Amino acid sequence: MLDKRILFKYYFISKMICIDSLSIAIKARNLNHSDIARLSGVSRQAVSLWFKSARDGFAEVKSAHLLRLCTALGVDAADLAQPLPDLGERRAAIRAALLWDRLYPDLEDFAAAVQRREPKALARLVEAYGLYGAAKAAGRVVWSRFPDYMKFLPPGRRQDLERVWRLHLAPMPR
């Protein structure tokens, strides 16, 4: 629990947060600006102002609000202060591999959908990188939810992946 003296001490200090990092946290938890306002103890207009008044991708937020928001989201304040890694030219290649049909508007929405374990997003990840590659990125959910999302895979690829999935589940001989 935070000491009230510490909280009071930081209340009037403003901190800079990276809007892109906050956007990712919002998308990953399927929240909107009203939810963020409620969690941080400010008005919805204040949250909109954070996004509109951001300079060079950073917005100024009072420390007390930032602490409440970070506690509610379960992230460290330093994570919201740091900009996202720049993928550079790799971003276009990843976007082409995963979002060729615009299943999701951008890579951030796609990543949030994978984190929420949406079947279409998991299927696209497996289609692009295979079961083992997708499992490295998304974890065991790729194996456990395969029957749920296999219907979203192209038929030829689905048959191949289904064989790999069955082999993976088969018990090892002693």
Q: If the chain, 174 residues long, is cut into consecutive pieces of 10 residues, what is the mean pLDDT of each piece?
A: 48 72 88 94 93 87 90 88 83 91 91 93 96 95 96 95 92 78
Tell me what pLDDT residue 14 has.
58
Taking residue 147's Cβ as centre, other Cβ atoms within 10 Å add up to: 10
Tell me what pLDDT residue 87 has.
77
Residue 8: helix, strand or coil by DSSP?
A: helix
Tell me what pLDDT residue 2 has.
52
Distance, in Å, from the CA atom of 77 to the CA atom of 26, rounded to the nearest integer, reads 14
Tell me what pLDDT residue 167 has.
92
HEC states along 105-167?
CCHHHHHHHHHCCCHHHHHHHHHHHHHHHHHHHHCCHHHHCHHHHHHHCCHHHHHHHHHHHHH
Taking residue 98's Cβ as centre, other Cβ atoms within 10 Å add up to: 20
Tell me what pLDDT residue 164 has.
94
Residue 147 is which amino acid? P
CATH domain 4-81 topology:
434 Repressor (Amino-terminal Domain) (1.10.260)
Element (H, E) at 41: none
Tell me what pLDDT residue 96 has.
92
Tell me what pLDDT residue 80 has.
87
